[in-house]
A and B are shown apart, each in its own frame.
Chain A
Amino acid sequence: MNELNKKLLIIFLLIFSLGMTALFVLREATESKIQSLNVISNVPNFELMNFNGEIFSDNNLNEKITIISFIFTRCEGACPIMSKNFSILQTRFANSDLVQFVSITVDPKYDSDSILKSFSNQYSNNDNWYFLRGDILDIIALSENGFFLSASLLPGGHSTRFVLVDQKKQIRKFYEGTVDANVMELQNDIVTLINQS
């Protein structure tokens, strides 16, 4: 083997091992993204109402990928941003009947059916986004015990996090609903869940 061929062989081997390393890293990265969606816990039983007076319970989460938020319509800080982000996600996943959105009001006394309805008209552009109300104590319990989100000093003190729930009513991950990068991450995770099903 002459000098040139030897060099070429070494270069080939180097590039080959670089490729193998890259392949390994890429597989690890994909794996880690799925791992980060590990089941956190199950959504407990609950029963709330949408603004049409129909019952919406945990059974409505079956077979759907659901993104849940806690908001109230008089809120001026985080809620408009959170709802805008829901609206964006709703548009982007308009072609999938697997994805649905749920916003639960933490101010049910003020947020009547009609107020929730007009809020819905303002942000929602499809019928897969449910605005729910119910007894404030039920809502606090659901937020704190069901979704591990703080709910003190309501309505102002509600959590600004989004919750990703899979088709089996399992909580998979939380996202800061006002941070674009986190919403983007949520979008990618929804795609991961859709592709897995």
Chain B
Amino acid sequence: MKKKLFFQSAVTATILSYLLIFIGGLVRVSGAGMGCPNWPKCGEGWMPPTNIDINQINTTLAWIEFTNRMFGVILGISIIILNVLAVFYFRKNSNLLFPSILSLIFVIVNGVLGGALVWFELNPYIKTVHMLFALILVSILSYICIKSYKMINATLFKGLKKNPILSKSLIFLWVLIVIEILLGTGIRTNLELVSIENPLLSKGEQLNALSSYKYLHSLLGFGLLFFSIYINYHLRNNSLLLAKQLGYFILAMVALQIFLGELMIFFDLPQLTRLFHTWGSSWLVGVIIILYNCMKNE
């Protein structure tokens, strides 16, 4: 009962944090980052103004940014609940307690970083750190999810054959994915810097203005595709259905990401594609952690 409650609480926090990453991406692609010109307040009060054009605040953008902040608060509350459960029931289980506390620290720090973004008028480097911290947060939460899931369904994981090559490959894949995300973030940051200096360039022209390291992102993307095929090959005889499914998910997601990436190059970076490209990458980060811990014997 306790275990189940904790697991459900972890899953809730994880889903909420993925939703928050989606909304954060939406703020970015819609250009609503400065929708509230200040932080933590939004305009004069704590809520965005409802009547149009007081102090020239664009109320639509303000509400998009405000939704992001509210979701952050909701996620914060769900992680506080997770921590309360961890402290009450699993004080002695450092596998659950420490990551819970860590997730609380990261959610608070990232909230403040969101504020710093507004104070520093959307500095592109703070944006990158804000996103990276979100990825670390979902990684921690995913870890708590799989750990508590294994606690409930211990029999499922009993007698699972160890595959050291697979485990190492998964660590390697995770590192590569993070590098790939950093490369992608670099492309986006540089695109932004180019567009500030050259506001008249179309998105396609801005992309052309970037140095050749943008090809590295595509190249590594295809590398990841082959690597996830290799991982699925290792999973083919695995007795754990969940592991196989996660393997398929990783392969499918990498393929989808490549498709979305190429789509953006040919269609001038459509906003919705950018949003799902970023979001998909965050799913990969969490799912690899879940798969890796599925394979590990306790």
Q: A residues engaging B (CB < 8 A)?
A: 4, 18-19, 22-23, 25-26, 28-33, 36, 92-93, 95-96, 173-174, 180-181, 184-185, 187-188, 190-191, 194
Contact = CB atoms under 8 A, between A and B. Distances in A.
Nearest to A38: B53
Nearest to A175: B56
- Pairs A-B, 9 closest by C-beta atoms: A32-B60, A29-B30, A181-B121, A191-B199, A36-B58, A26-B271, A26-B30, A32-B58, A28-B60
Given A33-B31, A36-B53, A36-B58, A26 B199 contact: no
Contacts of B64: 25, 29
Interface residues of B, number: 26
B121 A92 contact: no
A92 B56 contact: no
B198 interface: yes
A26 B59 contact: no
Contacts, number: 62
Given A33-B31, A36-B58, A181-B37, A25 B200 contact: no
Given A22-B26, A23-B272, A180-B121, A29 B200 contact: no
A96 B199 CA distance: 10
Interface in B33-59: 34, 37, 53, 56, 58-59
Nearest to A21: B26
Given A22-B272, A188-B199, A29 B32 contact: yes
Task: Say whether chain A's binding surface is mostly helix, strand, loop, or mixed.
Answer: helix
A46 to B, nearest CB: 25
Contacts of B34: 181, 185
B113 interface: no
Nearest to B197: A92
B176 interface: no
Contacts of B196: 92, 184, 187
B53 A25 contact: no
B199 A190 contact: yes
A75 to B, nearest CB: 24
Query: Of residues A19, A29, A30, A184, which shows the largest number of chain B Cβ atoms within 10 Å of its Cβ?
Result: A29
Contacts of A23: 272
A22 B270 CA distance: 12
